[in-house]
């Protein structure tokens, strides 16, 4: 597990490795890594919940939820959150809390958390209910030689695209979330809170996805359609299984379809042929057995995820001589996936 975590989750295979990514640091301080959540909808003025726009730094999502529950005297699961955000970062995001907690909102404020505004909302925020995230990342300790190369690497990413890896924060220190997911699905796991249970099982799904994607990059299949792949029409959002490789390769090259990787679970749409064998190899590498796969359905029925990450507005700017990257990602996209292609050092 340690080797797998290092190879496919902590520092997964790069597309641009032959071009020698630059050396630098992108989280020297929380302020160097800013994330602004883009809401799917604005607060609607409803009476049941309060939509709170918060700023936090050096505070993980689990810590945020626990703090809110304790400060507002709420039960686990009552705080709504749309997206998990990096701990070592300055992030702006929305959360929802029941209206009855309004008189206690002042308790939320800490040196790590600021409450900016509050509005009524009719429903609790759910995971994934966001339009995306906007990032501003300042790189530190980059040599002058590497600074001169950054522009070319950024331009090249616009051509190759970015592998849609899950970031290392998904997996916990040393891959502990993956190990917990395996234990839970194997019937040997400890009793844990619903949040941790879901996180662990989703981490297991994410590990299989990263391994499957990493194998394709290592085997030169990043831009190739494989017989039996599950693909999606990017305009209509309709999935299908590849039978005519030549036809679907032309559609992939034209940007009309994307290849979908596995988020394993008993109800996931199955790949066929060579593609199915590749996904099975990824599951075996992670240690996921058929019995565990069936057990996952309690917490994660299964889905598909695009192998290629859609990046909008990727721009290289300069702030007092330091390189700054700005870009937007869709829900579920990790900035570390993009940064993995550009920077060695973290």
d(CA 149, CA 143): 10
Q: What are the CA-CA distances from residue 18 to residues 87, 151, 153, 163, 214 (Å)?
A: 31, 16, 11, 16, 15
- From the CA atom positions of the chain, what is the Rg in Å? 21
Which positions of the chain have pLDDT values less than 70?
17-19, 346
For residue 317, give the 3-state DSSP assignment: strand
pLDDT of residue 121: 97
Which is catalytic among the residues 86, 253, 303, 319? 86
What's residue 99's pLDDT? 97
Distance between CA 123 and CA 68 in Å, rounded? 17
The string of DSSP letters for 244-303 reads -HHHHHHHHHTTSEEEEEEE-STTSPPP-HHHHHHHHHHHHHHT--HHHHHHGGGT---E
**Options 3.30.2340.10, 3.40.50.300, 3.90.1300.10, 3.20.20.370; CATH of 2-26+139-309:** 3.30.2340.10
User: What is the model's pLDDT at position 18?
Assistant: 58
Query: Cα–Cα distance between 30 and 346 in angstroms, integer?
Result: 13
86 included as an active-site residue: yes
**Main-chain phi, psi angles of 131, to 5 degrees:** -85, -20
Under 8 Å between Cβ of 94 and 64: no
Q: What value, to the nearest 5°, has the Cα angle with vertex 25 and ends 19 and 31?
A: 135
Q: Please tell me the distance from the alpha carbon of residue 263 to that of residue 213, in angstroms, as a whole number.
A: 11
CB 97 within 8 A of CB 68: yes
Looking at residue 346, its pLDDT comes to: 64
- Domain residue ranges in the chain: 2-26+139-309, 37-134
Tokens of 136: 């501003």
Residue 204 DSSP code? H
Q: Whole-prediction pTM value? A: 0.90
Q: What is the pLDDT of residue 19?
A: 65
Decide if 2-26+139-309 and 37-134 have a common fold. Answer: no
Tell me the HSE value of 105 on the side-chain side, using a 13 A CA sphere. Answer: 20
Cα–Cα distance list, 266 to 83, 149, 332 (Å): 25, 45, 21
37-134 CATH fold: Alpha-Beta Plaits (3.30.70)
**Predicted local confidence at residue 17, as pLDDT:** 63
């Amino acid at each position: 597990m340690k080797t797998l975590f290092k190879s496919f989750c902590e520092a997964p295979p790069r597309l641009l490795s032959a071009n020698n990514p630059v050396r630098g640091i992108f989280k020297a301080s929380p302020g160097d890594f800013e994330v602004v959540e883009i809401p799917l909808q604005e607060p609607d003025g409803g009476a049941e919940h309060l939509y709170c726009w918060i700023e936090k730094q050096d505070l993980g999502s689990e810590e945020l939820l626990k703090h809110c529950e304790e400060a507002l005297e709420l039960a686990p699961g009552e705080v709504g959150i749309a997206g998990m955000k990096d701990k070592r970062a300055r992030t702006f995001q929305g959360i929802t809390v029941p209206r009855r907690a309004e008189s206690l909102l002042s308790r939320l404020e800490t040196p790590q958390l600021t409450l900016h505004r509050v509005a009524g909302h009719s429903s609790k925020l759910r995971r994934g209910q966001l339009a995306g995230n906007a990032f501003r990342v300042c790189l530190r300790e980059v040599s002058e030689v590497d600074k001169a190369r950054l522009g070319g690497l950024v331009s090249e990413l616009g051509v190759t695209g970015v592998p849609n890896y899950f970031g290392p924060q998904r997996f916990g220190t040393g891959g502990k979330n993956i190990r917990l997911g395996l234990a839970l699905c194997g019937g040997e796991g400890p009793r844990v809170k619903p949040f941790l249970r879901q996180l662990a099982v989703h981490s297991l799904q994410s590990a299989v996805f990263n391994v499957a994607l990493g194998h394709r990059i290592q085997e030169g299949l990043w831009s190739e359609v494989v017989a039996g792949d599950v693909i999606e029409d990017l305009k209509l959002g309709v999935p299908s299984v590849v039978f005519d490789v030549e036809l679907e390769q032309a559609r992939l090259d034209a940007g009309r379809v994307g290849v979908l990787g596995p988020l394993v679970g008993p109800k996931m749409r199955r790949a066929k042929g060579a593609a199915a064998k590749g996904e099975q190899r990824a599951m075996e590498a992670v240690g996921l057995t058929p019995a565990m796969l069936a057990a996952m359905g309690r917490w994660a029925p299964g889905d598909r995820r695009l192998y290629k990450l859609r990046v909008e507005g990727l721009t290289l700017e300069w702030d007092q001589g330091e390189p700054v990257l700005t870009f937007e990602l869709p829900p579920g996209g990790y900035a570390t996936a993009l940064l993995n292609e550009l920077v060695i050092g973290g």
